[in-house]
Structure 1
Amino acid sequence: MTPSLLMPTVGGATFGKCNAQDQRLFSVNAGVSSVEALEHASLLMNCVNTLSFMGAVDDGHEATAMRWASHYLSEMAKALIDDVTLGLHPAQEPT
């Protein structure tokens, strides 16, 4: 069996650390098309690239907001990619 991007997300990835116990506030929903999840991750990363560049060239108060926004968006994108990867592991051929 070969890995397939037709597999849905498994819902195992979380993001949004909060409180002293580093609990996660959000998670990826199971059952979303992996292709759509990766497309969404790509869109999020495009926003991250734009915001991080703008934050790097801006020395005003807005730069701090842009850096935090890019941090949170990148965490969301990573969770999507991690969740797709979790779904691919069981589908890989034994070595």
Structure 2
Amino acid sequence: HGPANVKNIGCTPFPYHSDQAFFNVRAGIPIIDALSQSSDLLSLAKSFAEDAAFIKDTDRHAWAAHYLTVMGKALLDDVIQALIPRPARTKTESETEIPESL
């Protein structure tokens, strides 16, 4: 057991357009690999964001930084969901039994 053997759950969607996701993170990737990939994506995004701050004649660096950030964040969010246990499901009000005699 331990974090080295944990795999991501693959449910995080990204990016959105009109409330629909274009892509989802794939399930079954070891979290160490997902974290490494996320670090690479965010490092590239940082470089593009710095370029965008200095190069005013185009916005392509800013958009590249935006999409790399969205992808890196989706990977991190998916890893977090794999590492943090989900709360136990509780019965809804309609599912609970109402005693016949009150």
TM above 0.5, one fold?
Answer: yes
* Partner AA of 1:52 in structure 2: A
Name the counterpart of 2:72: 77
**TM-score for the superposition, normalised by structure 2:** 0.78
* Higher-RCO chain (CA-CA 8 Å, sequence separation at least 6): 1
User: Residues 1-95 of structure 1 correspond to what in structure 2 (within 5 A)?
Assistant: 4-18=3-17, 20=18, 22-61=19-58, 64-90=59-85
Q: For residues 81 and 5 of structure 1, what CA distance do their matches in structure 2 show? A: 15
* Partner AA of 1:4 in structure 2: P
Give per-residue Cα distances to partners, 1:6-52, cap 9 Å, x unaligned: 2001011110112x3x2111001110010000000000011001000
What percentage of residue pairs aligned between the two structures are identical?
A: 31
> How many correspondences in the alignment?
86
Of structures 1 and 2, the larger Rg is shown by 2
Cα 1:49/1:80, change in 2 over 3 Å: same
**TM-score for the superposition, normalised by structure 1:** 0.84
Structure 1 stretches (4+) deviating beyond 4 angstroms?
none
RMSD of Structure 2 on Structure 1 (CA): 1.7
Q: For residues 70 and 22 of structure 2, what CA distance do their matches in structure 1 show? A: 12
